[in-house]
Chains A and B, each alone.
Chain A
Amino acid sequence: MKSYVLRPLYVVIAFVCIILLARVFVVPKDFGIGERGFMYGWHRKGAEDFWRNFKVKYQTREYCEGCHAQKYETIMASPHAIIQCENCHGPAVDHPVKPEKLTIDRRRDLCLRCHAYLPYPTSGRRVIPPINNDEHYPDTECVQCHNPHSPGF
């Protein structure tokens, strides 16, 4: 056996060492096997914090109640009590700081999401008072006649 025969092997080993060395510097320190074991838990721990600290936009109606107590009371007494304020008023985010004013969606399209007539009696639609979109004052915004906070006239 000639001694030079193993030289390609040394080159390969050197390559492996370079990769392993590079790993030490490139791979974040918090990378590892999490609680779920290798198959489902092999990850960078910091990624969890990223998602945990993601910005909340929808603050829910309890947040609105703090300042708009009267509006809150009115809507809670109406059939629209099931609808969250932010579904029409847009996500509060850091309102009243940022944005200072919320953009209210007053379009007919918004009401039609639930109230457009669809012949689907086996779906949840059966419980909603429907309108025929083509016949019931088309091209008019619903809010001209109906008050969304107290829709029943």
Chain B
Amino acid sequence: MTGLEAHAAEVHGAAWTIKEMFVYPNEYIYWSIQIVLYPFMTGLVAGAFVLSSLYHVFGRTELKDMARFSLLFSFALLVAAPMPLLFHLLQPQRGVFVFFTPHFTSAIAAFGIVFFTYSAIVASEIWFVSRTFFVHEIERLRNAEGICNRVRYCCYRGMSLGAYDMGPGADQADHKAIKILSGIGIPVACFLHGYAGFIFGSVKANALWMTPLMPVIFIMSAIVSGIALCMLTYIIIMEYRKLRALRNRKPWMPAKDIAGVEIETVKITARYLVGFMVAAISLELLDLVFRGYTAVKSWDILRAVIYERDFIDIFILQYGIGNLLPFIMLLWPRLTVRRAVVALVLVLMGVFMMRWNVVIGGQSFSLTFAGFMHYHMPFMPHNLETYREGFFGLLTILVLPFVLLWLVNKLVPVLSGGEEETSGH
């Protein structure tokens, strides 16, 4: 035993959990900030994809500008989505076992298969969207000098998978493939996120999580957050481009060439955003009202958590500032880009708080229904664990998709209107 203690071992969760009243000895907040991020990230993935599919499948041509961008962003987010899970595992090197010995009665085991299927669909769709671009680049770089150009040339050769067919009918074939893939992608994207909701909703031991509405609530808020993030990133990038173009502007260039954000695109996308917000909030409120009305055994402790202990997190930050305020801001006539940006940031914050209130809120009361646990997110890391499960772990994961988007954008330029004019459709 003395040998064991010499390891300076510590109890996972003890660093950020404060217990109060009657709590079982082994209870801690085991699922912390990374598990808040995990549904937040997969939600962004699903939402971004649904946004792009609205154009590809349902032919919402007004979303064309956003569609291509959100598809690529969805891919960047997708690659980043398993990272919070990996950060959270106590044995991250064994994470791959989920692929090797999946236990199909577990919601997490589905992750390997759903995630892989979905990545395959998104990657294929991007391939079809960008194929002609690859072929053009290969032509352009065939005899280009310099190591950088040679590397790019080889990359494009690889990524084109040897499909150089640009003949008649190729364009239609690509379009048809894109349409089919987006069609399959929508249910898979919803499944990817719905099952993240299922992970929580099916935990019968947790009174707050256990509701069949959980997957649906998660999907709706996922779409809300995905659309919001795509719009926000789109606005920021377009404004950045405008600024850069203005700085490099030659006096003889006509002003109309410097295109910024299309306010029409923002307005139309905002309308979809508001629609999904209504659905998400209705479901969440239904859940709350139903719990209060049926008032089963767990309601006493849930009420104490929802209306007293987490009141600010739930009713002020999530519903008030995160839902109601941006809702009014987006519906108020004469929407401006600046107002939209503020509203979108608030929406994203609101969805993040919703994940927080579900994941942390579900663990803030004891299984005894007679005690509470408080979560204190570690700020300055003093070891690997407090980094991974603390504020800097959160930052790492939040920055990751943007780094990935930047990388993806290097190879597959997504934003039309820059120096890399692409052959979008």
Check whether chain A touches chain B (CB < 8 angstroms).
yes
> How many residues of chain B are within 8 Å of chain A by beta carbon?
21
Please report which residues of chain A, range 3-52, place their CB below 8 angstroms from some CB of chain B when the two chains form the complex.
4-5, 7-9, 11-12, 15, 19, 22-23, 26-27, 31, 38-39, 42
Q: How far is the CA of A5 from the CA of B163 in the complex (A)?
A: 8
**A1 interface residue, CB < 8 Å from B?**
yes
Q: Please give the distance in Å from A28's CB to the nearest CB on chain B.
A: 9
Known: A12-B120, A15-B116. A5 touches B173 (CB 8 A): yes
Q: What total of A-B pairs shows CB separation below 8 Å?
A: 42
Cβ of B123 < 8 Å from any Cβ of A?
yes
Say yes or no for A2: interface residue by CB 8 A criterion: yes
8 Å CB contact of A11 from B100, B161, B165: B161
B311 at the interface (CB under 8 A from A): no
Given A31-B101, A42-B103, A8 contacting B173 (CB threshold 8 A): no
Query: Are A7's CB and B103's CB within 8 A?
Result: no
Whether A2 pairs with B161 at a CB distance below 8 angstroms is no
CA distance A148 to B173 in the complex (A): 90
Contact, CB under 8 Å: A2 / B105? no
Q: Is B162 an interface residue (CB 8 A)?
A: yes
Cα–Cα, bound, A19→B104 (Å): 17
B127 touches A8 (CB 8 A): yes
* B173:A19 contact, CB within 8 angstroms: no
Identity of the chain B residue whose Cβ is nearest the Cβ of A4 in the assembled complex: B163
B307 CB–A CB distance under 8 Å = no
**B173 engages A1 (CB within 8 Å):** yes
Q: Which of the residues B100, B105, B123 comes within 8 Å of A22, measured between beta carbons?
A: B100
**Identity of the chain A residue whose Cβ is nearest the Cβ of B104 in the assembled complex:** A38
**Are B161 and A8 in touch, CB under 8 angstroms?**
yes
Within 8 A of A (CB), among B109-165: 116, 120, 123-124, 127-128, 161-163, 165
> Interface size (A, Cβ < 8 Å)?
19
> Which residue of chain B has its CB nearest to the CB of A19?
B99
| B161 proximity list for chain A (CB < 8 A) | 4, 7-8, 11
Residue of A nearest to B123 (CB): A8
Q: Which of A2, A8, A23 contacts B165 (CB 8 A)?
A: A2
B160 to chain A minimum Cβ distance, whole angstroms, is 9
Q: In whole angstroms, how far apart are the Cα atoms of A27 and B100 in the complex? A: 7
The one of A7, A12, A27 that contacts B163, using a Cβ cutoff of 8 Å: A7
| B120: A residues at CB distance < 8 A | 8, 12, 15
**A7 to B67 alpha-carbon distance, docked (Å):** 24
Shortest Cβ distance from residue A144 to the other chain B in the assembled complex, whole angstroms: 29
**11 A-B pairs (CB sep. < 8 Å):** A4-B165, A7-B163, A8-B127, A9-B124, A12-B124, A23-B100, A27-B101, A31-B101, A38-B104, A42-B101, A42-B103
Going nearest first, the 4 A-B pairs with the smallest beta carbon separation are A4-B163, A8-B124, A2-B173, A7-B161
Seen from chain A, the residues whose Cβ lies within 8 Å of a Cβ on chain B are 1-2, 4-5, 7-9, 11-12, 15, 19, 22-23, 26-27, 31, 38-39, 42
